[in-house]
Amino acid sequence: MLRPQVLRGLVNLKDFRNYSLPNALRGLFTELPVQSSEPSASAFIHLLVGLFSERFTQCNPDLGITRDEIYLLCFSMIMLSVDLWSPSIKNKMSKREFIRNTRQVATTTSDEFLGNLYDNVYIVGHVVLIDCSGPPFRHSEVKAILVRNQPLSLPAF
């Protein structure tokens, strides 16, 4: 696992202006993947989501969403991703349920915004590729449209 100061520096290099929340999170976890075999995978996810939430809020102040709400929305999307993709979960969460459940923690966001988060995770796929069965993207042609022209590349080391 990267040292927290190094991880903070890497996240702060990213410019998340005008990115949708799920696409920004997905891109970051694509570049800084979670190694599920490491015992510290959970700590890495919490640290990375915390740093991401802070940076995403700095880059998108016009959204009017607090860092804490972004943090909670990220974990809501991670749980939704697992719910929608896990073959062992038979009763999948509906869009209405996601909005109702997430509304309790994201008080400054609209139902339309929350619905768009659901749609993105449902159509594009996982926001964190870790221990998930199935392909990373549900509909490749839709994924190409939703994430086009949004490179998230870190400098080579």
For 157, residues 6+ apart whose C-beta sits below 8 A from its C-beta are none
- Token pair of 139, please? 């509909």
**Is the Cβ–Cβ distance between 22 and 124 less than 8 Å?**
yes
What are the sequence ranges of the domains in the chain? 4-147
Please say if the pLDDT value at position 1 is more than 60: no
Residue 36: its pLDDT value, please? 65
CATH topology of domain 4-147: Arf Nucleotide-binding Site Opener; domain 2 (1.10.1000)
Residue-wise pLDDT for 87-118, tens only, equals 888 999 999 999 999 999 899 999 999 999 99
pLDDT digits (tens, 9 = 90+) for 120-149: 999 988 887 654 444 444 444 444 444 444
The helix/strand/coil state of 119 is helix
Residue 153 pLDDT class (50, 70, 90 cuts): very low
Question: For the whole model, what pTM was predicted?
Answer: 0.78
